[in-house]
Amino acid sequence: MSETKSISETPARRLVVSDEARPFVSRGGRIFSRQVVEEDADIAEGQEVLVTDRDGRVLARAMAFLTPKELQHQRRHHALSPA
């Protein structure tokens, strides 16, 4: 039985990664800002977020290093680290 949960089942801040990043994130890899395709606007630096794929499947929990505004301007920086 799969432990994957839909984001709709988990009321937390979320960040969506690209399809290319999905296998790396699923194995606990770092997330860089250029891999982020969507994020909740109220994410704060140091806050735990759920990382999902475009279909809403939860891939990981991570700690945010950048705010959404910073993500838009710093596309090559380390954005999150697995929690």
49 vs 66 pLDDT, higher one: 49
Please give the Cα distance from 78 to 76 (Å, whole number): 7
Domains of the chain, start order: 7-82 (2.30.130.10)
Confidence at 63, pLDDT banded by 50, 70, 90? confident
Q: What confidence tens digit (pLDDT) does each residue in 15-53 have?
A: 899 999 999 988 988 888 888 899 888 888 888 899 999
Q: What is the mean pLDDT of the chain?
A: 78
- Residue 54 pLDDT class (50, 70, 90 cuts): very high
Distance between CA atoms of residues 24 and 68, nearest Å: 21
Percentage of the residues of the chain whose pLDDT score is greater than 90 = 23
pTM: 0.72
